[in-house]
Amino acid sequence: MHWTWSMRKMSQVERKAYTVERVEPTTVKFRAEEENVTLRLFAVPVALFSSKSSFTPLVSVVIAVDTDKPRMGEMCDPTKFGSHRAVSPMGLEVQEGWTVLSSNDVEVRLRVEVTNLNVYPELRDGIGNPCVNVSWILLTNVK
């Protein structure tokens, strides 16, 4: 295949060096049956790419779950979601968090937004927190 200049130019993506300036988790507080649960989602940057004037972050989202009533139960496993009852969280309170990166003189702000949340109170993690299934999107703001 013969590459023309325009084909090579369109496909150029540059990996950018960056500094993590701040990490604030998105926090979701809610009630699930008889317990109060706090969910924190951290956007942890893995890489930052740029092409022309656009920036594309690659992130890993780390999720932490805490409850005011830890208890033991069947171990949390996504393969068990279909055979256990999911409950919808009630009284959702969301506090937006941001991960802020700087690359040269550009600031890149990353925000995790929860789009769907199911709680499986019968399934528990190793320290007694309920199992959650979270869908999310990553929003990016470049200044």
**Non-local CB neighbours of 44 within 8 Å, separated by 6+ positions:** 23, 59, 60, 61, 62, 99
pTM: 0.85
74-90 residue pLDDT tens: 999 999 999 999 999 99
pLDDT the model gives residue 6? 42
Q: Determine the Cα–Cα distance for residues 142 and 115; give it in Å rounded to an integer.
A: 22
Do residues 67 and 42 make contact, with C-beta atoms less than 8 angstroms apart? no
> To the nearest 10°, the Cα dihedral for 31, 132, 134, 116?
-40
4-43 residue pLDDT tens: 444 444 458 899 999 999 999 999 999 999 999 999 999 9
Do residues 47 and 12 make contact, with C-beta atoms less than 8 angstroms apart? no
E strands, the chain, where? 14-15, 19-23, 26-32, 35-51, 54-67, 74-75, 90-95, 99-103, 106-124, 130-142
pLDDT the model gives residue 11? 58
